[in-house]
Amino acid sequence: MTADCSRALRTPSPGGHRKHSGFGVEEPIDTSVHAYLGGPVHRIGIVVGVVSLALAVSAPIAASAAHAPGLDPLGTTTEKPVIVQHADPQRPIIAVSHRGAAGHAPENTLAGLDAARRFGAQTVEIDVRQTRDGELVLLHDVTLTRTTDVEEVFPDRESHQVADYTLAEVRRLDAGSWFSPEFAGEPVPTLGEALDRMEELDLNLFLEIKEPDRYPGIEKEITAELFTRPIWLEHNPPWEPRRLVVQSFDWEATRSSKRMLPSVPHALLGRVPENRLADFTWAHMVNPNHTTVNADYVELLHEHGFETMPYTVNSRAGMDAVLRMGADGFITDYPDAGQRAIRDFLGDEGRDGAPDQAATPLLPVPLVPVLH
């Protein structure tokens, strides 16, 4: 099947959003979770069944579990009937705003989240690491060197790894001046602060767990943090972008997170070999580097029931290329440029006879040239 034929099968719904073709009914995930609870997107028809949800949660998680769907607030193993409906999704194609809005503001900061919304993003991606005292913070690199003034504030410290600093010490750092003087004094935010700001801004989230092997138990801590804010475990309507996706390059840690958050879609970062796709039926997405994929690989992902949003696409030519491949979206430092590329792409499809996807209105900002 050609990329054009594959795209034609995923025809837009009457409401203007794209509908994927079905490829059969998904099997249960680890005997506990079905596709409706955030698994892959194999789907035709409606299935009603009983699924055994077994989840042991720790005390901080259990304290909030009473407010979250599908979990026993006592942290015990129970069997609960679940009505599972495998329905065609109608998700829009989106440009996920990378590290907040890394092309417009210092990455992984509250200012970056503000910029993402200002430049028209619906969904943002952030990176999460852990401090020495176990606090979850937004940071891409293993060290604080590139994006803060840690060397000036702590000139006598040999290590600049965030795992060697307490949250109180990280709070003393300037995470904005490296990007531009106008962001001087911007702090490194905690995950909790970022979740609250994104809720205020009505932004959806791709949460990347960075190098979890460096922070044993970080998946559990992230789960606990999310349960203190149960709105993040609620699902958006099927015609909107997904509320929350958890992803990592560490696929075992991703699976561990999936077991703790069975109702949340999880994504594998990187290119999964073709002969291993069947090993990851518990995952919902495969998000590879955009330079490593082509239309055949995207089609294969869809045939296996995965969505795909390649990273990090900062040129207009690259955006146009992944859209022509049939990707479900892409991750970019420039959400404004990304949304324009999607709007133009769907406009071209509309002129060929398919309805346009309803696009989020963009603010009147110029198309920013891609510098990196």
* Domain range list for the chain: 92-351
Which residue out of 67, 140, 160, 235 is catalytically annotated?
Answer: 140
Question: How do residues 346-365 score in pLDDT, each as one tens digit?
Answer: 997 654 433 344 333 333 33
- Taking 60 as the threshold, does the pLDDT of residue 280 lie above it? yes
Question: Is 302 a catalytic site residue?
Answer: no
pLDDT in tens, 104-159: 999 999 999 999 999 999 999 999 999 999 999 999 999 999 999 999 999 999 99
Least trusted range by pLDDT, from 88-92, 282-286, 294-298, 337-341: 88-92
pLDDT at 90: 78
Helix axes 218-227, 191-201, angle to 10 degrees: 40
Active-site hit among 98, 290, 302, 304:
98
Calculate the average pLDDT of the chain.
Answer: 79
Residue 289 pairs in a beta bridge with: 311
Q: Residue 308 pLDDT > 80, yes or no?
A: yes
* DSSP code at position 278: G
Q: Identify which has the larger pLDDT, 11 or 192.
A: 192
Is 140 assigned a catalytic role?
yes
The three-state secondary structure class of 245 is strand
Structural domain 92-351, CATH architecture? Alpha-Beta Barrel (3.20)
Quickly list DSSP for 20-77.
Answer: PPP--PPPPBTTTB-GGGT------S-------------HHHHHHHTTSTT--TT---
**Which pair of structure tokens corresponds to residue 243?**
């509320």
